[in-house]
Chain A
Amino acid sequence: MNMLFKNRHRQLQDFRRLLQPQKKDKTDEKKAVCPGCGKENSLSRLKAELYVCPVCGHHMRISARERIRQLTDEKSFREMYKDMAVADPEEFRGYSEKLTAAQRRTGLKDSVITGTATINGTKCAIAVMDSFFMMGSMGSVTGEKITLLTEYATKKKLPLIISCCSGGARMQEGIISLFQMSKTAAALKKFSEKGGLYISLLTHPTTGGVSASFAMLGDIIIAEPGAMVGFAGKRVIEKTINRQLPDNFQTAEFVQEKGFVDIISHRHNLKAVISGLLKLHTDKSRKELTVRGRMSLIARQATVQQKENITPWQRVQIARGAHRPKAQDYIDRLFDDFYPLHGDRLFGDDNALIGGIATFHGIPVTVLAQCKGRNLEENVKNNFGMMNPEGYRKALRLAKQAEKFHRPVITFVDTAGAYPGIGAEERGQAEAIARCLMEFSDLKTPVIAVVISEGGSGGALALSVADRIAMLENAVYSVLSPEGFASILWKDASKAPQAAQAMKLTADDLMEKGIIDEIIRETATEGADSIKATAAQIDRYLCTQLTVLLKKKTSTLCDERYQKYRRTGITE
């Protein structure tokens, strides 16, 4: 009998479910066609997918309110300057009507929403542009609101996030709209001088006056996949140069390749990426650097067998070995989170240099690593670890960024040398390296360089101007390759082994000369265990040295670094 009541209960639940969809069906009927693949999806499904087409992954345009819903914590957004509206729209014929229509359609007063919010708990100032309001064009109100918000963020020391989405300046407002570009840029300069973090998010489309002002000025620039980013319209360019442009022209991916976008993030990860970056920049609780239990255990247990009687030439071969761990292997093991950033903001993004931000034992650091590939495929992509000028300029940009946010810089050196190529010469390889040497010497934050395998010539030196230089036991560091040395001096490249002997390029030799500060011992074995053990040794070294360096005053740090390099080559 009990069963009857239970069955009835279950049946009623079924009924309620049947009665619910009856209402829901009607809303479900509303569908949207994906502009990417043309497939239909219900709006409720799309909303759950954050308006990313579940079929083709196309990121659809969304309103400012929806963007805020997606990015910020629920109910955390506090809108500011809400009621600001164009004062005198009558000046231009038809503008007033267009403005009213846009206001009615979007419920906004102008093309941007500004305010404060928390993102996974971190408070920030946020501005979101709405492309449904006159194509997100920037008029006086847009410029003013963004400037006011930037000033507010400067005053309150809040990180600033601007989600950009615009066709450009608002033509109806004429010259006033153009000068919003300089106004916002000026405000951002003041913000940046005070050490504020500005993350710019480029969404489809970010063009014209907006891209040529605040959109491109982010300390970190994030873009959504497939978003159109550019200055002049594609059609205008095609008409002017009378040439067909490639399909991917002005896409986020294209622009990243050209060095102007740090991160391309799928909309589903966007909040996590932004909140991660915010945490890296706002977590002021300076933790004591301690070697993690696991790492110290590995470091202690690793039986460091010093191999006797290894000739310098053998070490060269070990350092160049295909199975030798690469920078990426150490990055994976040393840092919990690593946000790779891309581009030199000038010409391109060099894959031979990995650069980014990570936390090391709870403190944010900037990581710069010369990166040989682990297989042929990676090597082709990474140019066999030989950097182009854009790679050095990217390293310099990220180092300057680290200086701004007082992050220590850790570099991993592993290169046969700077890339000898036509393009590299054209773009000023020598200048790029020289600039690095100069700027790193006075970088107002601790720098530690770790030579992990091969330190080849000026290409390696550009990344090893540091407060501390450490070398792995089997790494080599020299003015040029032993083969090159042999062929220049003895006209015979096959005499490389003898050259290696003569060049004094091993860690022990360099230690003797006082060029490096520490030799990090490696285990005899190869493979994953040895990487782990070596990583643990590096970890311990970085930990102890950072503790020392972080305690120093910036001026002392720079002075000591100057003296360190000043001393080299003095014969007494």
Chain B
Amino acid sequence: MIRKILIANRGEIAVRIIRTCREMGIQTVAVYSTADKDALHAQLATEAVCIGSPRSADSYLNVNNIIQAAVNTGCDAIHPGFGFLSENGDFARKVQENGLIFVGPSPDLIDKMGNKAEARRLMKEAGVPIVPGSEGVVETVEDGLKKADEITYPLMIKAAGGGGGKGIRIVRSADEFPAAFMAARSEALANFGNGDVYMEKFIENPKHIEVQIIADCFGNVVHLYDRDCSFQRRNQKMIEEAPCFSLSEETRQTITADAVKACRYVGYNSVGTVEFLLDKNGQHYFMEMNTRIQVEHPITEMVCGIDIVKWQIRAANRQRLTITQQDIKPSGYAMECRINAENVKQGFVPSPGRIEFMHLPGGRGVRVDTAVYTGYEIPPFYDSMILKLITFAPSRLECIRKMRAALEELIIDGIETNIDFHYFVLHHKKFVDGSYDTSFAGTFIEELKQNEYVV
């Protein structure tokens, strides 16, 4: 039975987990770096423990200090949030070895799904469509060229241990292949400490669709329908919406069924997300699985009326999933804008600093998840996302209008933010009609530059 959780994270997700824990009567321990002593999560938790200096490697990625803090404060469990140690199998294993509960799937599952080549193999076995690819690590250029012919161009070379859009090379012909291959290898080695790369077909301008999953350790799996995360800048999501507007009911059924099938096959036992690519013909391919809570989980919560973190903790607590698929009846539309402390005009560079004044929108159908407040000094060491603005309405257009109104009201003074950028996106015809794909953000930014709206 979990009575006290250490939250091995910071920022708004730490605050969001603390809120659910309070609701569930679970005590919380926040950990913070010396740069985060004024951070909101450290104030809201029952206890707060300093675990190191500002650099992530010394604090939020410092496995020993975190486990030590959990043991010292008498915690039963550790919640990793997202980012940092959330998809680190070794960390999960260590947590368990120290007699604590890891709020997430089994360490082996993290490892399996975290290794993209392994995940692909499993999915193929499970009968989930995957993007044609190299089936395992590609060792040499010759080997790669041979496989490339089978996959057909254009294709991508990806780091097996990568993520977040880093270490990806797009190759359009055999001539480019050798150079791209070597570059990808060295980049992978530099970024992830692992030079292994694999190849897969490059699907041009797909839509990014993902399915939220809740499972327990008794083999029960339900899905909370889909999200559309196609508005991405350099593979970083900026706006997400649920459900996907352009998805046909038929495709939605096959995608959600495939997601559930994948989780059943690997014996998944926590909250997770299965990501798919949807090409122009409506064909979907398994992309990857995130074995953690996700940034954009609130939009699914709004649409389905379910607290996903609550079920994550329950699953970790070996409680049975008491909701069935029939109980989940999504209604309306939800949308999330990630508000970052960044300077759009200067190519989206982070803009840390002191928030002199902040005014948050509110009212019906508006949800704000944030960990910053007036007078708070944003440290330069971590992710620039400071606030998630979520709106919920019966129809997509109402949802967009509500989001516009909310953005109009939102004031964050003292730092540069991307509020106005979002405001412009929400007025673009292509965004409003919902037909945009992953290439849209790039072209939209170019358009803004040309029209000198932002420059």
**Chain A residues with a Cβ under 8 A of chain B:** 1, 4-5, 8, 11-12, 15, 18-19, 22
Contacts and interface: CB of A to CB of B under 8 A. Distances in A.
A15 B411 contact: no
B422 to A, nearest CB: 12
A465 to B, nearest CB: 75
A19 B420 CA distance: 12
B420 A15 contact: yes
A15 B424 CA distance: 8
Interface in B319-358: 357
A22 B413 CA distance: 28
B357 A22 contact: no
Contacts of B424: 15, 19
Interface of B: 357, 359, 408, 411, 413, 420, 423-424, 427, 451, 453
B interface, over-half SS: mixed
B427 A19 contact: yes
Contacts of A4: 357, 359, 411, 413
B293 to A, nearest CB: 33
B36 to A, nearest CB: 27
A1 B357 contact: yes
A18 B453 CA distance: 7
Given A5-B411, A8-B411, A15 B423 contact: yes
B408 A12 contact: yes
Given A4-B357, A15-B420, A19-B427, 5 more contacts: A1-B357, A4-B359, A5-B411, A18-B451, A22-B451
Q: List the 9 shortest-distance A-B pairs measured between CB atoms, nearest first.
A: A19-B427, A18-B453, A4-B413, A12-B408, A8-B411, A4-B411, A4-B357, A1-B357, A15-B423
A8 B408 CA distance: 8
A4 B424 CA distance: 20
Contacts of A18: 451, 453
Nearest to A19: B427
A8 B410 CA distance: 9
A63 B420 CA distance: 44
Contacts of B357: 1, 4
13 contacts: A4-B357, A4-B359, A4-B413, A11-B420, A12-B408, A15-B420, A15-B423, A15-B424, A18-B451, A18-B453, A19-B424, A19-B427, A22-B451
A387 B420 CA distance: 76
Contacts of A19: 424, 427
A369 to B, nearest CB: 62
B428 to A, nearest CB: 9
Contacts of A15: 420, 423-424
B303 to A, nearest CB: 28
A8 B419 CA distance: 12
Nearest to A1: B357
Contacts of B451: 18, 22
A336 B369 CA distance: 73
Nearest to B413: A4
B244 to A, nearest CB: 26
A537 B411 CA distance: 75
Contacts of A8: 408, 411
A255 B424 CA distance: 58
Nearest to B356: A4
A101 B359 CA distance: 61
Contacts of A11: 420
A275 to B, nearest CB: 44
Contacts of B413: 4
Contacts of B420: 11, 15
A4 B427 CA distance: 23
Contacts of A12: 408
Nearest to A25: B451
A16 to B, nearest CB: 9
B356 to A, nearest CB: 9
A179 to B, nearest CB: 56
A1 B424 CA distance: 25
A18 B420 CA distance: 12
A443 to B, nearest CB: 71
Contacts of A1: 357
Nearest to A11: B420
A526 to B, nearest CB: 66
A126 B382 CA distance: 75
B55 to A, nearest CB: 34
A1 B374 CA distance: 12
A254 to B, nearest CB: 50
A101 B303 CA distance: 54
Nearest to A21: B451
A1 B427 CA distance: 28
Contacts of A5: 359, 411
Nearest to B447: A22
Nearest to B358: A4
A320 B13 CA distance: 102
Nearest to A15: B423
Contacts of B453: 18
B453 to A, nearest CB: 6
A8 B427 CA distance: 18
Contacts of B408: 8, 12
A8 B357 CA distance: 13
Contacts of B423: 15
Contacts of B427: 19
A425 to B, nearest CB: 75
Nearest to B454: A18
A273 B413 CA distance: 59
A4 B413 CA distance: 8
A18 B423 CA distance: 12
A28 to B, nearest CB: 14
Contacts of A22: 451
B107 to A, nearest CB: 48
A5 to B, nearest CB: 7
A424 B166 CA distance: 99
Nearest to B408: A12
A8 B451 CA distance: 21
Nearest to B427: A19
A4 B357 CA distance: 9
A367 B30 CA distance: 99
A12 B404 CA distance: 11
A504 B357 CA distance: 99
A1 B408 CA distance: 16
B11 to A, nearest CB: 24
A4 B358 CA distance: 10
B15 to A, nearest CB: 25
A22 B424 CA distance: 11
A15 B423 CA distance: 9
A230 B286 CA distance: 79
Nearest to A9: B408
B432 to A, nearest CB: 12
A17 to B, nearest CB: 11
A300 to B, nearest CB: 69
Contacts of B359: 4-5
A4 B423 CA distance: 18
Nearest to B452: A18
A22 B452 CA distance: 12
Nearest to A8: B411
A8 B407 CA distance: 11
Nearest to A12: B408
B243 to A, nearest CB: 27
A448 B206 CA distance: 91
B416 to A, nearest CB: 14
Nearest to A16: B427
